[in-house]
Amino acid sequence: MEVWPGSAYPLGATFDGAGTNFALFTEVAERVELCLFDRDGTETRVDLPEVDAFVWHGYLPRVRPGQRYGFRVHGPRDPGQGLRCNPAKLLLDPYAKAYEGDIDWDEALFDYKFDAPDQVNDLDSAPHAMKSVVINPYFDWQEDRHPRRGYHETVIYEAHVKGLTIQHPDIPEEIRGTYAGLAHPVMIDHLKSLGVTAVELMPVHQFVQDHHLVERGLKNYWGYNTIGFFAPQNTYSSSGQRGEQVLEFKSMVRALHQADIEVILDVVYNHTAEGNHMGPTLSFRGIDNQAYYRLVDGDPQHYYDTTGTGNTLLMRHPHVLQLIMDSLRYWVTEMHVDGFRFDLASTLARQFHEVDRLSAFFDLVQQDPIVSQVKLIAEPWDVGEGGYQVGNFPPLWTEWNGKYRDTVRDFWRGEPATLAEFASRLTGSSDLYQDDRRRPFASINFVTAHDGFTLQDLVSYNDKHNEANGEGGADGESHNRSWNCGTEGPTDDVDIVALREQQKRNFLATLVLSQGVPMILHGDEMSRTQGGNNNVYCQDNEIAWVDWKESRAEWSLLEFTQRVVRLRREHPVFRRRRFFHGRPIRGTEDAISDIAWFKPSGELMGGGDWDQAEAKAVGVFLNGDAISEPDERGQAVSDNSFILAFNASHEPVSFTMPDGAYGSAWDVELDTAAPLVEDRPPVKAGNDIEVEPRSLLIMRRAH
């Protein structure tokens, strides 16, 4: 086979219309073979002829898209020294843009013998391994553009490509559970009607099924087990053709962009699917184990693990950093995605041992002209020492605010002494983000996410029910801050059902109307349940999927969600770009402060009032005339003013409307205790209005 020297850049397989250039980084290799596979599985091996700066490369004329390939790396094997080369193992290209097939967990995939772990395993892994695929990089984007919606206008919908669409009766069966299914008009119509501006997709980078799950007849449903950082997951493609998942993913992004919906990817750059020292040799381990992974100091046979998955990528190695940055740029420039949510992002900050917000990774992101301009969302924790870093990421970043989730859950289930922190979370968590000049939208607010209870289960279960996972209840969070409203699980008790519905409305209204960026979990708007399972990572079945037929009985909650999202969209006072000051805005005629907190008596809250352990009711005035920032065109922004009256107690509370300086009359805009009641008479200043137990009343200033 004809082989030319080719180029050391770009890494991976690059088709130029006449042939394909292959390039692979490895510092330890003594020889690298490129392995090409025919349709019948016949393998042809070709030595890469050139090496520059530890990159082995070669150009093969006439090798075209659809070609399956892999590498075999010849080099030292000494696990005790962290060296794990074994040419018997076919290795995936870390820069491959697509993969075909899956692994079958045969012993040949491991570089040691099961019955003698200290002996090398020379069985050929190729018949049992996935294959890398050369792709066609050309695609008609049809003038596609990034929506580039501001954070303050963003409403995020966390979704699973398969779980959201696999049971939708109006999507053609052959594309359910795929990128094409998510791009179907009925799915986009649902997102648009809900007011969603961005979908945050759970991992779509190519991942591998875990061995222990396969043995139990389960699957890795969530996908936090990445093996390919450039390739869309092949099982989410409706086409069985090699490399077609790339075109289908691009078509999905194009369709969502045409609907003015952004695409954010949940990405896992902290570890790979190769696991610990007993894991398979699939790619990085056999290419250059010491370069890609953090090894234990003084014991390089073992991996330093801050992720709980067996290994951690070596974030201080320049080629690991290059891999991640190349991947991020690829998904923005070639796949047109609009942002990333970084799983266990504290691990990315561990340049050495401690979490360092000024580590090399964040330096690279900060100066990168492409990556720095998209949405960057951190999951600000990992399982290592000092890993909980909510509020501590650099100013360019936003964060999943776990403190928001915990506080809002505690408030609405009636926990004592939550009022002060609840007020802070409602107004954008300035205690976490203001000191480093971040804005309220640095807080990605959520009450539920993929990890934990759904909204329906949050109000239906006190305890997790993860029996289907087969782990004896050891998996999943045990302290859920949930409340079942009186009985565990499903019930026919009409009072309990009514209370649960009201609590769901409380959570949704609080979430959507808080300062910051709201994130809604897919299906919560239709009361999706997982039967009390709070860790469905291995449930690729009806337990985790959205049941659209059942959900259609819950249209009332969907309509409520649509209504409260519309209220946020129409009123900038709920999505401010700067924190409240608690004082009148300079240069305005209004002598009333931009925010004021009231006791149910109508008096302003004092310092001691916040410390009352049993205080569970509070009112807040949001001054629409005191929005200090201009809009995108530099025009002054003003809005209606609102009063939100929260009552998390089990008794009704009579709220006295504040004096006329704040407004002489108030219209009831929304009542979570009576969402269908319309056209109530205005409430005058100084008069009382009753707020039902465990409810939120939203009032707009009439005049």
Residues forming the active site: 343, 379
Strand partners, 73: 32
Question: What tokens appear for 510 in the block?
Answer: 């609080």
Ramachandran quadrant class, 217 (left: phi over 0; alpha: psi -120 to 50; beta: rest) = left
Q: Is the peptide bond before 10 cis (omega within 30 degrees of 0)?
A: yes
Give the span between the Cα atoms of 628 and 578, in whole angstroms: 8
Q: Which amino acid is at 100?
A: E
Instruction: Give the C-alpha distances (Å, rounded to integers) separating 285 from 18, 74, 84, 93, 485.
Output: 32, 13, 6, 12, 50
Name the strand (E) or helix (H) holding 324.
Answer: helix 318-333
Burial of 658 (0-12, 13-18, 19+ CB in 10 A): buried
Q: How far apart are CA 658 and CA 619, in angstroms?
A: 10
Q: How far apart are CA 366 and CA 680, in angstroms?
A: 52
Q: Which residues pair with 61 in a beta bridge?
A: 19
Dihedral pair phi/psi, residue 595, rounded to 5°: -150, 145
Distance CA 459, CA 482 (A): 6
DSSP state of 611: G
Q: Which two tokens stand for residue 639?
A: 């809005």
Query: Residue 139 has which token pair?
Result: 């695609």
Strands 665-671 and 695-701, by their bridges, are antiparallel
User: b/e for 207-218, b at 16 or more Cβ within 10 A?
Assistant: bbbbeebbeeeb
With beta carbons less than 8 A apart as the criterion, state whether 134 and 12 touch: no
Distance CA 396, CA 374 (A): 10
Residue 402: burial class (beta carbons within 10 Å; 0-12, 13-18, 19+):
middle
The kind and range of the H/E element at 24 are: strand 19-25
- Across-strand partners of 56? 24, 51
> What are the Cα distances from residue 597, in Å, to 404, 607, 642, 645?
19, 11, 12, 10
**DSSP designation for 354:** S
Q: Which residues pair with 266 in a beta bridge?
A: 341
User: Phi and psi dihedrals of 30, rounded to 5?
Assistant: -105, -20
Nearest to 507 by CA among 465, 452, 445: 445
How far is 165 from 173, CA to CA, in rounded Å?
10
What is the DSSP-derived secondary structure letter of residue 82? T
Ramachandran category for residue 66: left, alpha or beta (phi over 0 → left; psi -120 to 50 → alpha): left
Please tell me the number of Cα atoms within 13 Å of 95 on its side-chain side: 22
Instruction: Identify whether the C-beta of residue 273 lies closer than 8 Å to the C-beta of residue 207.
Output: yes
CA pair distance 77, 74, nearest whole angstrom: 9
Strand ranges (DSSP E) for 388-432?
A: 398-400
What are 290's two structure tokens?
Answer: 């010491």
Q: Given phi > 0 = left and psi -120 to 50 = alpha, else beta, which region is 65? A: beta
Query: b/e for 660-698, b at 16 or more Cβ within 10 A?
Result: eebbebbbbbbbbbebeeeeeebbebeeebebbbbbbbb
Q: Is the dihedral of CA 538, 540, 542, 544 positive or negative?
A: positive
